[in-house]
Amino acid sequence: MSLYPFVQIRRDLHQIPELGFQEFKTQGYLLNYLHGLPQDRLEIRTWETGLVVKIQGRAPSQTIAYRTDIDGLPITEETDLEFKSQHLGNMHACGHDFHMSIALGVLTYFVENPIDDHLVFIFQPAEEGPGGAEPMLNSDCLSGWHPDLIFALHIAPEYPVGTIAIKPGLLFANTSELFIDLKGKGGHAAYPHHTNDMVVAACSLVTQLQTIVARNVDPLDSAVITIGKIAGGTVQNIIAETARLEGTIRTLSEESMVKVKERVQAVVNGISTGFQCEADIDFGAMYHQVYNQHELTEEFMEYMEKHSDLTVVECKEAMTGEDFGYMLKEIPGFMFWLGVESDFGLHHSRLLPNEAAIEKGINGIIKYIQYKGNR
């Protein structure tokens, strides 16, 4: 099997990044490729803008699943690539173009070289938001194809090509979006005593939110509250009637997530009382932690160290969010980082992953699936 087409596939997909549940061109591209493969062992189902593909095993006793995400981010690309994004304002800045090309490479190999067990490939939309894993898992798209084992990868710019980084147990954090709307009374800048200034309220709120992690979370645990965007007011000489804060909460334990949200609500209630304003909270989408099943992860690490040309590194947990955690909550499995050695990190407008990682990823996954799926 030639690996060159999958580099080109990555470049094709890189040009058409689409946001969550809007991946119409991406789905069409994937379907067009899949329909060009031998169909005798292949079954294809669509779900929303995603896909589920089954390869019939020769003598199945289990179903092994591999998941890839397919959406892009609302980021304007700032690379000089000849194949840069053609969708202004959108970019594959999290490597999902890599993820898809690797998945197609593995899928193609096993269409041509079937193994004993069934294989299911999940092309999941909306990982970046609002979250496609949980509704996809709860739909009927996997009816009769429910996996016994599932795994996935995510590119890692900080690791060199040829490296897998992984750990048993917690890998990625629990995450929750955070949106807070404040509404007071606007007015002339010369008469502040007749108003309730929501810019001042918002600034006070940001400061108070930062005390939650410092004073309400166990110092031996970890949590993050980040406010990434504040919008308020209209012009310089009008006191702002409204303000909006947008941010994220990340914790390494489910218990801390519950506690942090309770404290956020309490702090916002205090701002509402203190500044005599209305305050509404929307916690938005929440992603369950990515927790790697110990036995399967340790087995994968040992096998890849001995039987692949990849270097296996045991990493630390990260505050990264990934909705693959919902799948791991229901199905035994794991996720790992794949090194792509880029100077710019994930979600950066100049992310430049090394395409040599595509071949490494395809070959490594093929070896592991052959090991798990043949008896």
DSSP output for 91-127: B-TTSHHHHHHHHHHHHHHHHHS--SSEEEEEEE--T
Q: How far apart are CA 364 and CA 266, in angstroms?
A: 49
Taking phi over 0 as left and psi of -120 to 50 as alpha, with beta for the rest, 189 belongs to: alpha
Element housing 286 (H / E): strand 286-287
Strand-pair partners of 155: 338
In sequence order, what are the residues at sequence separation of 6 or more whose Cβ sits closer than 8 angstroms to the Cβ of residue 187? 194, 195, 238, 239
Q: How far apart are CA 344 and CA 350, in angstroms?
A: 6
Catalytic residue among 128, 181, 322, 341: 128
The answer to whether the Cα torsion of 193, 197, 203, 206 is positive or negative is positive
Q: How far apart are CA 184 and CA 201, in angstroms?
A: 9
Helix then strand then coil, in percent of the chain rounded to 5, is: 35, 25, 40
Side-chain half-sphere CA neighbours of 270 within 13 A: 12
Q: How far apart are CA 178 and CA 248, in angstroms?
A: 5
Q: How far is CA 88 from the centre of its chain?
A: 21
Per the annotation, the verdict on 341 as an active-site residue is no
Task: Count Cβ neighbours within 10 Å for each residue of 274-312 and write b for 16 or more, e otherwise.
Answer: ebebebebeebbbbbbbbbbeebbeebbeebeeebebeb
Q: How far is CA 135 from the centre of its chain?
A: 15
Strand-pair partners of 339: 156
For the chain, the maximum distance between any two Cα atoms, rounded to a whole number of angstroms, is 80
Per the annotation, the verdict on 82 as an active-site residue is no
Query: Cβ of 77: how many Cβ atoms within 10 Å?
Result: 24
Catalytic residue among 69, 127, 134, 241: 69
> Annotated active-site positions, please?
69, 128
